[in-house]
A and B are shown apart, each in its own frame.
Chain A
Amino acid sequence: MTALSLDMASTGQARTRARATRSSALGAVVVLLLTAILLLFMVYPVAYIFYGSLKPGGGLLGDTAGFTLANYRRIFASGFFTFTRNSLAICLAATAVSTFISVCAAYVFSRFRFRARAALFGAVLLGQMFPWIILVNPLFIVFARWGLTNSYPGMIFCYTAFTIPFSVYMLTGYLATVPKSLDEAAIIDGATRFQVIWRIVFPIMLPGIVATATYAFLLCWTEYLFALAFLTQTDMKTLPLGLYQFFGDDRVDWGAVMAASAVATLPTLLLFLPLQSRLASGLAAGAVK
Chain B
Amino acid sequence: MRNLLVKAAALVIAAAIAIGPAWAQGTVNLTFRFNDTEEKELRAALDQFEKQNPGIKVTLQRIGWRDARDQYLREAAVGQGPDVVHVAQVWVKEIGQAGAALPLNDLVKSSPPGSGFTDFMAQELAQTKDGKIFGLPWTTDTWAMVYRTDLLKEAGIDKLPDTWTQLHDDSAQVKKRTGKTGFGFPAGGSSSGAIWFLANFYWWSNGKAMVVQKPDGTYGMNLTVADIADCMHYFKSFLTEGHNPTSNLSASDAHDPAILQALVTGQQAMAAMPPNTYKQVLEMYTAANPGKPLPFVSGPFPKGSVTRSSMIGGRMLVINPNSKHPQEAWKLVKFLASEPIFTQYYTTQFPAQRSLLKNVNWSPELKGFAEQLGYARTWGPYSDGPAPIGAMWNATGRAFSAALSGQRSEQDAAQELLQAVSKLMQNRAQ
Contact = CB atoms under 8 A, between A and B. Distances in A.
Interface of A: 56-57, 60-64, 77-78, 137, 140-141, 144-145, 149, 228-229, 232-234, 244-254
A254 B254 CA distance: 15
Interface in B42-89: 59-67, 71, 74-75, 77-80, 82
Contact of A245 (B64, B254, B255, B265): B64
A250 B260 contact: no
B255 A252 contact: yes
Contacts of B279: 251
A232 B71 contact: yes
B261 to A, nearest CB: 6
A248 B257 contact: no
B403 interface: no
Contacts of A78: 39-40
Interface in B65-117: 65-67, 71, 74-75, 77-80, 82
Contacts of B284: 56-57, 61-62
Interface in B244-286: 254-255, 257, 260-261, 264-265, 273-274, 276-277, 279-280, 284-285
B264 A248 contact: no
B80 A245 contact: no
A81 to B, nearest CB: 15
A67 B287 CA distance: 12
A250 B254 contact: yes
B236 to A, nearest CB: 25
Given A250-B254, A250-B274, A56 B61 contact: no
B65 A64 contact: no
Contacts of A60: 257, 261
A64 B264 CA distance: 12
Given A63-B265, A144-B78, A251 B280 contact: yes
Nearest to A252: B255
Given A78-B39, A144-B78, A251-B280, A228 B63 contact: yes
Nearest to B315: A249
B66 A247 contact: yes
A44 B89 CA distance: 42
Nearest to B141: A250
B36 A228 contact: no
B361 interface: no
Contacts, number: 88
Nearest to A249: B65
B37 interface: yes
B80 A144 contact: yes
Contacts of B288: 57, 62-64
Contacts of A64: 287-288
Interface of B: 33, 35-37, 39-40, 59-67, 71, 74-75, 77-80, 82, 254-255, 257, 260-261, 264-265, 273-274, 276-277, 279-280, 284-285, 287-288
A61 B36 CA distance: 20
A57 B75 CA distance: 36
Contacts of A57: 284, 287-288
A232 B74 CA distance: 12
B72 to A, nearest CB: 9
A62 B71 CA distance: 34
B255 A251 contact: yes
Given A62-B287, A140-B74, A250-B276, A232 B39 contact: no
Nearest to B67: A228
B322 to A, nearest CB: 11
B267 to A, nearest CB: 12
30 contacts: A56-B284, A57-B284, A60-B257, A62-B261, A62-B264, A62-B284, A78-B39, A137-B74, A140-B78, A144-B75, A144-B78, A145-B78, A228-B71, A232-B63, A233-B59, A245-B63, A245-B64, A248-B37, A248-B64, A248-B276, A249-B36, A250-B254, A250-B255, A250-B276, A251-B37, A251-B255, A251-B276, A251-B279, A252-B257, A253-B37
B37 A56 contact: no
B36 A248 contact: yes
Nearest to B281: A61
A246 B78 contact: no
Contact of A250 (B62, B64, B261, B273): B273
A238 to B, nearest CB: 13
Given A61-B257, A62-B285, A247 B64 contact: yes
A234 B61 contact: yes
| 8 cross-chain pairs, A with B, having the tightest CB-CB distances, nearest first | A62-B284, A144-B78, A62-B288, A249-B65, A251-B280, A60-B257, A250-B276, A250-B274
Contact of B277 (A62, A145, A250): A250
Contact of B60 (A61, A234, A245, A252): A234
